Amino acid sequence: MVLIVKLLSIAIIIYGCLLMLRPGILKKVLEYIKEGNRAYIASGIKAVVGIFFMIAASKCSIPWIILFFGALAALSGIAAFVIKKKVMVQILEWAEKKPVRAVGVIALIMGVLLALAA
């Protein structure tokens, strides 16, 4: 379980670096997610990863960090199923307007924290 947490944290680190080096990637990802029911699929994956983090937290070296990020991911993934699709698209459009490199730095920091805590 710890190995999977470390692999997911490495994927988050790579995504954060990618956002910092190629900011146009976020716009493409968000445009892709807005089509059809892909936002619900992405939210479901996010909720499952969050629940996995919460289950795996007890086996990690600093469990409260893993539990915190797992709870955030699970709650936001589940909340996406509660809100209407129109509101979800508005949130994604709002996210597109934010500074992409700052989002990349946040993802990078989050990935490093998860990797160190695993």
Task: Please state whether the predicted TM-score (pTM) of the whole model is above 0.75.
Answer: yes
- pLDDT at position 50 is 93
- pLDDT at position 71 is 95
- Domain range for 89: 2-117
Structure tokens at 46: 């996010």
- pLDDT at position 6 is 92
Q: Residues in the chain with pLDDT < 70?
A: none
Q: How many domains does the chain have?
A: 1
Q: pLDDT digit string (tens) for 12-24?
A: 999 999 988 888 8
Mean pLDDT, all residues of the chain: 89
- pLDDT at position 68 is 94
- Whole-angstrom CA distances from 30 to 6, 57, 83 are 25, 29, 18
- pLDDT at position 98 is 81
- pLDDT at position 84 is 85
Enumerate residues 6+ apart whose C-beta is below 8 A from 12.
107, 108, 110, 111, 114
